[in-house]
């Protein structure tokens, strides 16, 4: 009787499969979970004619509300994604967002106060400010050989201080109807800013997957020494990555101002926690080389669905933060291969 070799079966629930699909499954689970909680609450209160599909959470208005809240965070998180893919960390987003928003508002008003005048030049100016801050951030990290998280954290504080110096603590209102149409003009019940964010997401995906720079981000994150040995200018790639991240931080600033009509020192508040949480929960590996902007989109939606859903069912803010923190820990545990990483930085 001849020997027969039985081929090894590939498990459908392999670790790689779980890591790949877990964020999307979590998002679907949350979207289905919150209406159930809402239904239970209505049932407890004795309301008649209770239907899950009639829940406040499942309404188009609430979906639009989630999308609007997610838009500025998505722009910032996309910038963070490029940095984390390279295996670095950028904590400068709050300062960059604040400075970009404030300079945009001042320039917008000084140039006429409406997009119908020369005030439209304030839009590329804000993006340029973000790019310059990102470039300086990357330059400090690379040339002075300071760890990225420390260099960027310092730049974030500098940015916040500069924004406070420029405004003196005041708020600058941007009331132009054309600019505010980012929020007020709707197509298929969703504001214009959601479609602008989708376009920016597609541009980011193109950079990530269809350009040499995007491929170089993965090469650096997958192994800096190997990338250096293959002739890649790692320092240049890192500086360009931080510069590109700064541009997306500035886009987040424009979306934030478009959403509330105000630019101030506090415009960048909370973006650090939300953006990094979104990137990690979405499945982009903290050590670099794995993930991308589509993962980040899922992560941003998870974070905003949790925030929105818990407001709908009436849970306090500290519960929201606790759930998000728990999700981050679970995401890192699932995505970290402890057999290949001997030391956690």
Domain coordinates in residue numbering, the chain = 67-270+286-291
Average pLDDT, integer, range 44-64? 69
> Cβ-count burial of 168 within 10 angstroms (0-12 exposed, 13-18 middle, 19+ buried)?
exposed
Average pLDDT, integer, range 50-68? 77
Mode of pairing for the β-strands spanning 186-187 and 172-173? unpaired
Task: Say whether pLDDT at 50 is over 80.
Answer: no
The pLDDT confidence band at residue 38, using thresholds 50, 70 and 90, is confident
- By mean pLDDT, which of 8-12, 57-61, 91-95 is the weakest? 8-12
Task: Say whether pLDDT at 53 is over 70.
Answer: no
Percent of the chain residues past pLDDT 90, beyond the cut:
59
Average pLDDT, integer, range 125-133? 97
Summarised one tens digit per residue, pLDDT across range 291-321 is: 899 999 999 999 999 888 888 777 777 777 7
Q: Residue 141 corresponds to which tokens in the numbers above?
A: 């990290």
Q: What are phi and psi of 138, to 5 degrees?
A: -65, -35
* Torsion angle (degrees, nearest 10) of CA 280, 159, 143, 226: 10
Task: Say whether pLDDT at 227 is over 90.
Answer: no
Task: Say whether pLDDT at 106 is over 80.
Answer: yes
> Cβ-count burial of 317 within 10 angstroms (0-12 exposed, 13-18 middle, 19+ buried)?
exposed
Q: Tell the residue number behind the tokens 């402890």, with chain if given.
A: 338
pLDDT of residue 43: 64
Q: Which helix (H) or strand (E) covers residue 297, if one does?
A: helix 293-312
pLDDT of residue 235: 93
Give the span between the Cα atoms of 283 and 290, in whole angstroms: 8
Say which residue, 343 or 42, is predicted with more confidence: 42
> Cβ-count burial of 262 within 10 angstroms (0-12 exposed, 13-18 middle, 19+ buried)?
middle
Kindly report the number of other CB atoms within 10 A of residue 45's CB atom.
Answer: 8
Kindly report the number of other CB atoms within 10 A of residue 135's CB atom.
Answer: 17
pLDDT of residue 25: 87
Summarised one tens digit per residue, pLDDT across range 255-293 is: 999 999 999 999 999 899 889 989 988 888 888 888 899
Pick from 289, 258, 246: which is nearest to 196 by CA? Answer: 258
Pick from 142, 158, 124, 159: which is nearest to 251 by CA? Answer: 124
> Cβ-count burial of 181 within 10 angstroms (0-12 exposed, 13-18 middle, 19+ buried)?
middle
pLDDT of residue 322: 83
Q: Which helix (H) or strand (E) covers residue 190, if one does?
A: strand 190-191
For 307, residues 6+ apart whose C-beta sits below 8 A from its C-beta are 69, 320
pLDDT of residue 10: 47
Furthest C-alpha separation in the chain: 90
Task: Say whether pLDDT at 3 is over 70.
Answer: no
Say which residue, 94 or 308, is predicted with more confidence: 94
Average pLDDT, integer, range 105-121? 94
Q: Which helix (H) or strand (E) covers residue 262, if one does?
A: strand 262-263
* pLDDT, mean over the chain: 86
pTM, entire model: 0.89
Pick from 172, 158, 174, 166: which is nearest to 264 by CA? Answer: 172
Task: Say whether pLDDT at 239 is over 90.
Answer: yes
pLDDT of residue 32: 85
């Amino acid at each position: 009787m001849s020997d027969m070799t039985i081929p090894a079966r590939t498990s459908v629930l392999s670790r790689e499969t779980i890591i790949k699909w877990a964020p999307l499954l979590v998002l679907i689970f949350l979207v289905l979970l919150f209406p159930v909680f809402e239904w239970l609450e209505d049932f407890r209160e004795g309301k008649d004619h209770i239907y899950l599909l009639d829940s406040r959470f499942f309404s188009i208005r609430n979906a639009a509300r989630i999308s609007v809240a997610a838009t500025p965070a998505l722009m910032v998180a996309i910038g963070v994604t490029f940095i984390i893919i390279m295996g670095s960390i950028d904590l400068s987003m709050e300062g960059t967002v604040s400075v970009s928003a404030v300079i945009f508002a001042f320039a917008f008003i000084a140039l006429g106060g409406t997009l119908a005048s020369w005030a439209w030049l304030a839009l590329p100016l804000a993006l340029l400010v973000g790019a310059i801050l990102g470039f300086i951030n990357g330059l400090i990290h690379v040339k002075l050989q300071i760890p990225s998280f420390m260099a960027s954290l310092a730049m974030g504080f500098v940015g916040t201080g500069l924004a406070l110096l420029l405004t003196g603590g005041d708020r600058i209102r941007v009331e132009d109807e054309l600019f505010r149409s980012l929020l007020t003009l709707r197509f298929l019940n969703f504001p214009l800013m959601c479609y602008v964010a989708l376009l920016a997401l597609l541009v980011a995906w193109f950079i990530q997957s269809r350009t040499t720079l995007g491929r170089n981000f993965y090469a650096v994150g997958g192994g800096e020494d190997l990338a250096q040995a293959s002739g890649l200018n790692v320092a240049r790639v890192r500086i360009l990555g931080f510069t590109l991240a700064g541009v997306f931080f500035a886009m987040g600033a424009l979306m934030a101002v478009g959403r509330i009509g105000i630019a101030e020192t506090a415009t960048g508040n909370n973006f650090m926690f939300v953006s990094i949480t979104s990137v990690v929960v979405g499945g982009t590996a903290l050590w670099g080389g794995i993930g991308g902007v589509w993962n980040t989109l899922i992560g941003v939606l998870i974070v905003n669905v949790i925030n929105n859903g818990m407001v709908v069912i009436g849970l306090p803010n500290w519960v929201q933060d606790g759930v998000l923190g728990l999700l981050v820990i679970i995401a890192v545990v699932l995505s970290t291969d402890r057999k290949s990483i001997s030391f956690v930085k």
